Each structure stands twice: as C-alpha cells, then as structure tokens.
Amino acid sequence: MWYRIPSHTGIKLSARPIEQATHYLTDKITLSLPLFAGLLTPAHVVTEGWLNEHLRLAQLPIGLPDGNADGVNPEQTYVPIPEDHYHPEFDDSLPLDMHSVLQWNPQATRTKLFAKLRFVFLTETTRPTGDLVDLIAVGGGAYEGFKVQQGSQAFEALLAKLNAKGKSTVGVVPVADTKGMEAALGSAEWKDFVAAAKRYIRLS
C-alpha cells in the first residue's frame, strides 16, 4: 500500500528493516525473516491501522478537537497512539505457544543479537542479498560473500584468517544452500567445503 506522508509528521517508511525502526507494519504475525528482522529492533509490531490513525490525526485542522476526553487532537500534542490497540492477529500456521502478545513486544535483549558473529555466505555471485542478509545486518552481525568457484582451499584459508582476527568474538558462521551448492560443485567438491567449515566452527 502507498501512503502520502505529511512532512510535519516526521514519519518515514522503509521497505527494508532498519535498526532505527520504531514500528513494524503487518496484518498477521507469521514466521518470516522480515518479521524476525523487525523483532531485532526496538520496533512495535502493529497493523497498518496504527499508521492510518496517525495520518488521520495529522490531517485535522489545527485547533480542532478530536472528540476524546480532553478535547485535544493527540497528533498536535504528540500524545502517542497506544500500540496495543493495533496488534496484528496470529496466523493459523503459528504454533499456539507463540500466541502471546508479550512475546512480540520490543525486548532490549534481542537487539544486537548477532553483534559477535560474522557470517560467510557461500555463493556463485559477488555479494549476498535478500531477507537473511537484512536480518543479520539489523541484528548487528557482519557478513561477506565467498565465491565457491575459488575452491575449498581458498575457503579454508578465509575461515582461518577470520578466526585469527576474531578470537574475542563468538565465531564465524558459514551459510550456504547445501542442495544448490552440491548441484553446482558436485558432491565430492562440496564435501571438501563442508569439511573445511567443520574444522573452523567454534561453539561457546
């Protein structure tokens, strides 16, 4: 949906998750990477109705009461609109033990979740993109791509280098589409990549 945002509201929309987000708009809570990225920020998960109410109030003439108890337009006095009035419904596919509003509220412990991790994407392209990359970036993690055409020995050398640099961090996390990589490289060569990764994965 397209929105015309009055400049005086200070509201900015982003199609991708960002660390500075204050609200994540969705009609349903589902298990999706974009929503998980939103949970790694201080953002409240709300429906589009929350934004629509802000925009409605922003269009009221200055000084016009809004019919509330105090006779004051909240948009003009910067009174926040309660997020709990606009909580999305839970998708039917969501496990029942996740049907709790509190679980989806902002939590400081989730921010910077990946701050001590570096992800290495094994790809056939120069740079990884997509929802998983956005999730890692918002969570404070670092990432880079490795072109598998360079071979397993070059990959192992990269892992050794990253581990030597990051002894104070939790570790390096290789990421790959295993079926896709095996199809592209062949079973034997892909096994060499897997063996290299296992030698440098550190758990703590």
Mean local confidence (pLDDT), 128-147: 92
What pLDDT shows up at residue 128? 87
What pLDDT shows up at residue 9? 72
What pLDDT shows up at residue 144? 92
Statement: residue 70 has pLDDT above 90: no
Statement: residue 89 has pLDDT above 80: yes
**Number of neighbouring beta carbons within 10 Å of residue 35:** 19
Statement: residue 8 has pLDDT above 80: no
Is residue 63 classed as helix, strand or coil in its secondary structure?
Answer: coil
Token output for 56: 């409605």
Buried b (16+ CB within 10 A) or exposed e, 62-77: eeeeeeeeeeebbbbe
d(CA 35, CA 45): 9
What pLDDT shows up at residue 26? 94
β-bridge pairing 142-147 and 117-123? parallel
d(CA 169, CA 163): 9
What pLDDT shows up at residue 73? 53
pLDDT tens digits for range 142-175: 999 999 999 999 999 999 888 876 555 568 899 9
Closest listed residue to residue 122, CA positions, set 62, 175, 69, 171: 175
How many angstroms from the chain centroid is the CA of residue 71? Answer: 39
Look over the chain and give the mean of its residue pLDDT values, rounded to a whole number: 84
When mean pLDDT is compared across 5-14, 16-25, 63-72, 132-141, the lowest value belongs to 63-72
Statement: residue 65 has pLDDT above 50: yes
* Residue carrying structure tokens 């929105």: 3
Mean local confidence (pLDDT), 82-91: 93
